[in-house]
Amino acid sequence: MDIWTREVWERKSSESDIAVFYLYTPICGTCAVASKMMNVISVMKPNIPIGKADLNYIEDLAIDYQIESVPCLLISKQGVLQEKIYAFKSVPDLLMKIS
């Protein structure tokens, strides 16, 4: 998973059929678990653009997208935000939501 800026996220989401943006903060314990899940997903789905960002550095995105908490997963399909996920239940659950 590459670290993305807001601009990269917006470009990838508009260029791809599906794009995924994982938002976290470094001192969040739940984010540490979610990061491991996202690393597995990025290996399992190498053809889907998946990026990550520390939400502390892209505050404007948090405001504009009304991010309520971290971890947060943004899923865009054909340039349109389809879903914001806050509950990282399992890798199979996340794969189903992404696919």
* CATH number, domain 2-98: 3.40.30.10
pLDDT for 31 equals: 96
Give the SS3 label for residue 35. Answer: helix
* 20-36 tens-digit pLDDT: 999 999 999 999 999 99
Dihedral in degrees, nearest 10, Cα atoms 34, 88, 1, 15: -160
CA dihedral 15, 39, 83, 6 (to 10 degrees): -50
Q: What is the mean pLDDT of residues 66-87?
A: 96
Domain ranges of the chain: 2-98
Per-residue pLDDT tens digits for 38-71: 999 999 999 999 999 999 999 999 999 999 999 9
Q: What is the pLDDT of residue 80?
A: 94
Can you give the pLDDT at residue 99? 84
